[in-house]
Structure 1
Amino acid sequence: MVSTLVLVGIAVAAFVGYNIGGSSTGVAFGPAVGSRIVRKTTAAGLFTIFAFAGAWTVGRNVIDTMSDGIVPAAQFSPTASVGVLFFTGLALLVSNIYGVPASTSMTAVGAIVGLGLATGTLNAELMFTIVSAWIVAPLIGFAIGGVIGRYLYPHLDARLSFGRMRDPLLRVDRSGTIPRPGLNENAAPRDLVGAALVLVIACYMGFSAGASNAANAVAPLVGNGSITMGQGILLAVGAIGLGGFTIARRTLATVGDDITDLPILAALIVSLVGATIITVLSQLGIPASLAVSTTCCIIGLGWGRASRTATIVELANPKPRDDSGTDLTTGSLTASPAAEESPGPTVGDLATGAAEAPTEAPDDVAVPEIGAEAPEEVSAESLFDPAATARIVTLWVLSPVLSVVGSYLLFAFLL
């Protein structure tokens, strides 16, 4: 007979997965829903499918690491599993209260580390590898974003345009007995290509989210043998999908505060880079945060865009800034290649209907050389509010630390 603690553990795991689905669906499909490529229900369905694909394939490596790598599987008693999952769910609750996308992976690992420290069974060598990846991955995201922002983004922005489709890209014909999916017949070929690109990257984000997050919900239960690997993946993805179809609708409706002010081109770039970093780490069995890597890529992209006002020599030998000097900030990504051009639509513009699909392909736009752009052309409005950024980074660091401390105290003195 299944014990009460196992049932409690399954319920807590489902709660964690439910909250993961609520937040991750909006992050992955916000641009697609905001630009009316797909409806919210379609987005939730696609996210669930690709999250399952990621969890069933690459995600198994992460589950192995968290269920029998950081600490031996024997340490995950029913009581310990509930305790670890409790701290993971608590982190999600705190992050939702403060409106900050918490690193569920880092917090879940922190709870397991607390258990390992309290029982003296922590795999220090593996934890060194994991923590090193947590440091290196955001730096890689920042570096890639910086290179793209400085050398490629202006050219892409000059040649690509994204608008808001009047009707969803995917439609369902319900005139017959069996509903038949199909493409929007009224969409222009250019719109179809752009919409397909947005949709493919959103599905890739879903795959990456499933690969990295399924373990956060079920690793302790898999470790103690309460459920098998396959059952754990089905439980995690089922709960994630339920969150995507329910509480994620609000996130999709507002398209997320952290992505609303980004041009859709920038949103696609950072989504692609962030998802790739996390997919690679998941293949290596390393749990890592998609939100952290993506945000660092955004910062790098903004810095790279702003740094185009100076050459490499000028960056290496900065001079005191005067009224005509270059101001290197985490500049705006909304500035266009030419000062007189209007910036591309942001995800927020598309969601509110402030921007419509372009009727013609843009003419070739001359992109100024590096060092030739005036600061006012690229540093309009700061990409990040320093106070908000400081709060986000503080909670990213504080959440796993509190998880470690709380878990250690729980298992060392109470259990």
Structure 2
Amino acid sequence: MVTALLAVGLVVAAFVGYNIGGSSTGVAFGPAVGSRIVGKVTAAALFTAFALLGGWTVGRNVIDTMSSQIVPASQFTLATSVGVLFFAGASLLISNLYGVPASTSMTSVGAIVGLGVATGTLNQAIMFRIVSAWIVAPLLAFLIGMVIGRYLYPHLDARFTFTRLENALVTIDRTGRLPRPAINERATPRDVFGAGVVLAIACYMGFSAGASNAANAVAPLVGNGAVSVEQGVLLAIGAIGLGGFTIARRTLATVGDGITDLPILAALIVSSVGATIITILSRLGIPASLAVSTTCCIIGLGWGRASRAVTVVEAASLAADPEVAQIDADAGPELSTGALGAGPGDAPSAGPTVGTLASSEADQQVDSERRAEAAEESDAATPEVPPIGEEEFDELAAESLFDPAATSRIVFLWVLTPTLSAIGAYLLFALVL
């Protein structure tokens, strides 16, 4: 019986890790694959390697928190471990069916909380610390994104552009006796530099994903001693890597369908901010959501970019006089995060968007030629960035980055999935086990 339960626990843990790899690989390496810097197989291999590095180092702290601090390790019998992993996996499945990347950390913690409430062993001090981080981290990501969007993003957008190569950046030269890697002859120095940045940030995202998500798949099994921390990390990353090599191929091909107005530069910024926040929290042993932090950073980045139409003094005067503010709001267009797609001044943004990289091959060829022409023009003269307060609302208030209905569904499911996980686990452990 014990052997059967252990086998079931290992299978469920692998299933959770498999789904994590399927979604996280696309999020981390979507821009790199879409830009043809690396292929899907290379992306999966790099993601797995850096996720293993993150899980083996920083991820141990998160495993320790989830396996013994939220509830005592003694509560994780084989039966309860299977129950916790089942509800975490089931909640993720519901979210995946709706096409929403759920917070794996929040759903896993929710299942453990259900166990702790049912048995009266929940460590409230630790949960207060975790929930506080869940509130502070998205707010911090929003504020960082807002500052970057208002003061730095236009200058970066004016100087950097990321194009999609017609052929892979690194090719295999087979003309000699031994095959050797070679850089694409059509790649410019700017392409090589941009590709290096995109690839480095993708690997950093993989490290952060491994650090925060390894615990979600194996913490209960580590808590009851069925596997050691090292074995747990290898099991989790192995399953995550399997997902990266299989189901992530579709995610890599379609990434960006829901954020078509997000430029590559913006995607790299929010990835860096989100990964840094989650890595720091993982170092502190706090399980947190990478998806929530990056989404809040996107909103802050777009809001900050759009706010350049007014100075701080003008914003303060509008806030002090509600009647004038209402007249201006009625007369002018509404600020939106779509402003990320606006170039400095009258110059259109030359870089592709994440959604463009996920479009059809024919469309990508046309876009590639257009962006190449724009890149040549930008090399000749870097467009000037108008000072804050001198940009027009019409230039900044572009199409909204988020569909309101889709955004509401995402936020609703982010709250629903850990809630379902906690309630389901509580009912199971309070009434059955």
TM-score, structure 1 as length reference? 0.96
- The alignment status of 1:227 with 2:227, answered yes or no, reads yes
**Which is helix-richer, 1 or 2?**
2
Shift of 1:331: 3.8
Deviations along 1:5-39, whole A, 9 cap, x unmatched?
01100000000000000000000000001111111
Partner of 1:330: 337
> Tell me, which stretches of 5 or more residues in structure 1 are unaligned?
none
- The alignment status of 1:350 with 2:350, answered yes or no, reads no
Shift of 1:348: 2.4
Partner of 1:368: 386
- Cα–Cα, structure 1 residues 119 and 175, in superposed 2: closer, same or farther, change >3 Å? farther
- The alignment status of 1:380 with 2:398, answered yes or no, reads yes
Give the 4+ runs in structure 1 shifted more than 6 A. Answer: 174-179
- The alignment status of 1:4 with 2:4, answered yes or no, reads yes
Structure 1 Cα separation of the partners of residues 174 and 81 of structure 2: 46
Deviations along 1:368-404, whole A, 9 cap, x unmatched?
1111111110111011111111111111111111111
* Worse overlay, 352-361 or 385-394: 352-361
Structure 2 Cα separation of the partners of residues 62 and 179 of structure 1: 43
1:257 alignment partner, SS class = coil
Partner of 1:410: 428
- The alignment status of 1:62 with 2:62, answered yes or no, reads yes
* Worse overlay, 178-187 or 67-76: 178-187
Partner of 1:25: 25
Partner of 1:321: 327
Structure 2 Cα separation of the partners of residues 49 and 304 of structure 1: 35
> Tell me, which stretches of 5 or more residues in structure 2 are unaligned?
319-324
Structure 2 Cα separation of the partners of residues 280 and 342 of structure 1: 33
Shift of 1:341: 2.8
2:171 alignment partner, SS class = strand
* Worse overlay, 168-177 or 107-116: 168-177
Is the CA contact 1:18–1:243 (under 8 Å) kept in the aligned structure 2?
yes
Shift of 1:366: 1.2
Shift of 1:55: 0.3
Deviations along 1:272-319, whole A, 9 cap, x unmatched?
000000000000000000000000000001101111111112223321
Deviations along 1:168-204, whole A, 9 cap, x unmatched?
2233456789765554354221110000100000000
Structure 2 Cα separation of the partners of residues 125 and 178 of structure 1: 61
* Worse overlay, 251-260 or 317-326: 317-326
Structure 2 Cα separation of the partners of residues 265 and 393 of structure 1: 25
2:157 alignment partner, SS class = helix
- The alignment status of 1:15 with 2:15, answered yes or no, reads yes
Shift of 1:335: 1.0
Shift of 1:338: 1.8
**Count of equivalent residues:** 415
Is the CA contact 1:310–1:326 (under 8 Å) kept in the aligned structure 2?
no
- Cα–Cα, structure 1 residues 113 and 130, in superposed 2: closer, same or farther, change >3 Å? same
Q: Identity, % of aligned pairs?
A: 71
1:171 alignment partner, SS class = strand
TM-score, structure 2 as length reference? 0.92
Is the CA contact 1:334–1:344 (under 8 Å) kept in the aligned structure 2?
no
Is the CA contact 1:50–1:204 (under 8 Å) kept in the aligned structure 2?
yes
Partner of 1:400: 418
- Cα–Cα, structure 1 residues 246 and 312, in superposed 2: closer, same or farther, change >3 Å? same
Structure 1 Cα separation of the partners of residues 419 and 255 of structure 2: 30
Partner of 1:83: 83
Structure 2 Cα separation of the partners of residues 408 and 227 of structure 1: 25
Partner of 2:302: 302
* Worse overlay, 250-259 or 9-18: 250-259
Structure 2 Cα separation of the partners of residues 228 and 177 of structure 1: 47
Superposed, 1:154-233 pairs within 5 Å as 154-172=154-172, 180-233=180-233
Amino acid at match of 2:57: T
